[in-house]
Chains A and B, each alone.
Chain A
């Protein structure tokens, strides 16, 4: 493929060539992996305000190869509940049911959409919610969200964020949703397996994708996948799943890589305020707790 025309691409792909996303965008890679995992499935996307809806491009063209509804910022799970309810009222015989996916950023998930998300999870709506977490408001130029990790500098935390990142998987697990899991764009097999597994589960399913944003993180576009691999290997972003809010399984074990390697490669953590030791301590206690939960 060259810069002007798409020479050949898979007609069944989710994300067609020709979108305007930034180089090294973790969300774009996530969409490609999602499309591969869902090849042959009938599904629709509900996307709130975020880079994911800008990805579609301007009317009347679209980069998405499936029906997409743009929802208001806080409303993706509410719109999707309506869509899913109608599908459930109209079962198709002899065909796979149409799956309803929300594809939302961390702002739409951890912040403005939190009440809507929590309510849809509590009602156990029959839909899959995927949060691609780039840990900032990327679309608006990189402001802090409650998903921004401690110490990261953003446009609204110029001295580094002083609060910890919200633990969204724990919040979803506390709703006892049938399935909640993390996904990594550096681990495509695990990504695909867990999406396929979710298709065999009814009710509310939640995924968190670690999605580097080179523009906001001040990182090299070519390093995005490598950064996610480092995050998994060092225990910064553990790959695990929770069934019914209680059954924990770790999918990929950390290999002992020093988390400092992950932080050192990102200019957003370059401030003097960044105390890597306290971050390491926190990661350690979080991961120990996860291992205990996975063993019990």
Chain B
């Protein structure tokens, strides 16, 4: 992130509103120590203000970044919404931590998923390298004039946020090439005084919501272009909206996001070696949701199991909810739509180990119909 901030030194600079919360504190501490040649880090009194500072800075043309987690994100919520509704290219690192009460600092995606209707782009990372690369990608995507939407770079608490791993870091020269100077076209301009965010009647509000929707729809195409640029400049791949293995001939497919997907990878490989026709999908981009890809990948399978490290009240797994919606009533899937079963795995931060995934696959294999969400990890 700091390299991205530094890359805007020839433009309006970088501003970060920061506030600590476990387990993202190390991120903002690092940002506060970084010797930006044209930047200011503002240690504010709340997450709500941290995003407020980013909004003000972005509206004045700067690159803006913050980080938060869990209840901090909940407290920030109102301004999180404004960042998207003002079409500001703010990037936020969000460390997925269980929402309290009860007080719990372990991994759970419920915090960022509460923003699913806020028109932010959401990218869920599965490793340290993925976080580093996705953050750079996020700035490029957010500032793309066709997009101009804020981007959340999400990662599992502790499993990613507090694990050391050897990674390839970008150089400043590479980042300077990858991230052109940030331009916020709607930024304040005394020569053209407008009031940003005043009253609007229903018709204009409707247009604004439609604009947001259209910008979100342009994200998948833009993301692929920026990934190609990333490959060219950094010489490595950064993962895209979805990653899949063995789905072509799979009769059972497991879907997950974040680090749970890494566990799926190894279990699915093992089952494949035993001749089982299983496949897997890692969904990295939750918003906009990669419906087409999920539909195409699942169209030939009979059963889909979705593992969610989150709980949506009354719906079970939130990714599962989206997968079901993607597979329902669509041409090409129709009545052959696979059975979709929700598995709540690691809700509240419990470990999701290969055995957990094994059990899920066995359970899914026995199933003849989808049922209520299956809660994994409950001690009986």
What chain A residues lie within 8 Å of B59 (beta carbons)?
A: 69, 79, 82-83
Distance to closest chain A CB from B325 (angstroms): 31
Contact flag A60-B204 (CB < 8 Å), given A46-B56, A83-B56, A86-B57: yes
Q: Quick check: is B55 within 8 A (CB to CB) of the other chain?
A: yes
Would you call A82 and B201 a contact (CB within 8 A)?
Answer: no
Q: Is A65 an interface residue (CB 8 A)?
A: yes
With a cutoff of 8 Å between Cβ atoms, the chain B residues found around residue A42 in the complex are 190
Give complex CA distance A57, B196 in Å.
Answer: 11
Interface residues of B in 12-60 (CB under 8 A from A): 12-13, 15, 17, 38-40, 42-46, 48-50, 52-60
Q: Give 1 or 0 for each of B184-204: 1 = CB within 8 Å of chain A CB.
A: 000011101111111111001
CB atoms of A78 and B204 under 8 A apart: no
B78 lies within 8 A of chain A by Cβ: yes
Max chain A Cβ within 10 angstroms of own Cβ: one of B56, B78, B82: B56
B69 at the interface (CB under 8 A from A): no
**Secondary structure of the A contact surface, majority rule:** mixed
Q: Does B279 contact A (CB under 8 A)?
A: no
Contact with A along B71-109 (1 / 0, CB 8 A): 000000011001000000000000000000000000000
* 29 pairs, A vs B, C-beta closer than 8 Å: A53-B198, A56-B199, A58-B198, A59-B200, A62-B193, A62-B194, A64-B195, A66-B193, A67-B196, A68-B193, A70-B198, A72-B48, A75-B55, A77-B49, A78-B79, A79-B53, A80-B56, A81-B17, A81-B56, A82-B15, A82-B54, A84-B56, A85-B42, A89-B12, A89-B38, A89-B40, A116-B49, A119-B45, A119-B46
B64 at the interface (CB under 8 A from A): yes
A43, closest chain B residue (CB): B190
Q: Is the CB of A81 within 8 A of B53?
A: yes
Please name all residues of chain B whose beta carbon is closer than 8 Å to the beta carbon of A79 when the two chains form the complex.
52-53, 55-56, 59
B200's nearest neighbour on chain A, judged by CB, is A59
Assess whether B62 is interfacial by the CB under 8 Å rule: yes
A→B interface (CB under 8 Å): 42-44, 46, 53-54, 56-60, 62, 64-72, 74-75, 77-90, 98, 115-116, 118-119, 123
Identify which of A58, A74, A83 contacts B60 (C-beta below 8 A): A83
Q: Which residues of B contact A60 (CB under 8 A)?
A: 194, 204
- By the criterion CB–CB under 8 Å, are A82 and B60 in contact? yes
Question: Which of B62, B189, B195: most chain A CB closer than 10 A?
Answer: B195
For chains A and B in complex, what number of residue pairs have CB atoms within 8 angstroms? 161
A53 to B336, CA, bound (A): 54
Q: How far is the CA of A46 from the CA of B44 in the complex (A)?
A: 18
Interface pair A78/B197, CB less than 8 Å apart: no
Interface residues in chain B, defined as those with a beta carbon under 8 Å from any beta carbon in chain A: 12-13, 15, 17, 38-40, 42-46, 48-50, 52-62, 64, 78-79, 82, 188-190, 192-201, 204
B interface secondary structure, majority: mixed
**Set of chain A residues within 8 Å of B195, measured between Cβ atoms:** 53, 56, 59, 62, 64, 67-68, 70
CB distance A70 to B15 under 8 Å? no
The answer to whether A68 and B49 have CB atoms under 8 Å apart is: no
Q: Min CB distance, B51 to chain A, in Å?
A: 8
B58 & A82 in contact (Cβ 8 Å cutoff): yes
Using Cβ atoms and an 8 Å threshold, which residues of chain A touch B55? 71, 75, 79, 82
Partner of B201, one of A44, A58, A68: A58
Which residue of chain A has the shortest Cβ distance to B192 in the bound complex?
A: A67
- Are A72 and B52 in contact (CB-based, < 8 A)? yes
- Please judge, given known A-B contacts A68-B198, A69-B56, A72-B78, whether A86 and B46 are in contact too, CB under 8 Å: no
Looking at A46, A70, A89, A119, which has the most chain B CB atoms within 10 Å of its CB? A89
Contacts of A119 in B (CB 8 A): 44-46, 49
Partner of A89, one of B13, B44, B190, B196: B13
Is B49 a contact of A75 with CB atoms below 8 Å? yes
User: Given A72-B79, A85-B57, A116-B52, A62–B64 Cβ distance below 8 Å?
Assistant: no
Whether A98 lies near B190 (C-beta < 8 A) is yes
Chain B contacts for A80, CB-based, 8 A = 56
Closest Cβ neighbor of A41 among chain B residues: B190
Q: What residues of chain B lie closer than 8 Å to A74, measured between beta carbons?
A: 48
Alpha-carbon distance between A59 and B54 when the two chains are bound, in angstroms: 24
Query: B52: which A residues are within 8 A, CB to CB?
Result: 71-72, 75, 78-79, 81-82, 116
CB distance from B40 to the nearest CB of A (A): 4
Most buried by B among A53, A54, A59, A66: A59
> With a CB–CB cut-off of 8 A, which chain B residues contact A57?
198-199
Judging by beta carbons under 8 Å apart, are B40 and A67 in contact? no
* CB closest residue in chain A, given B82: A72
Additional 16 contacts, C-beta under 8 A, given A58-B199, A58-B204, A79-B55: A44-B190, A57-B198, A57-B199, A65-B193, A68-B193, A69-B188, A72-B82, A78-B44, A82-B17, A82-B54, A85-B15, A86-B15, A88-B40, A89-B15, A115-B46, A123-B42
Please pick, from A68, A84, A90, the residue contacting B12 in the complex, using a CB distance under 8 A.
A90
Q: Which residues of A contact B196 (CB under 8 A)?
A: 67-70
**Which residues of the partner chain B approach A64 to less than 8 Å between Cβ atoms?**
193, 195
Among residues of B, the one whose C-beta sits closest to the C-beta of A53 is: B198
Give chain A residues whose Cβ lies under 8 Å from the Cβ of B192.
67
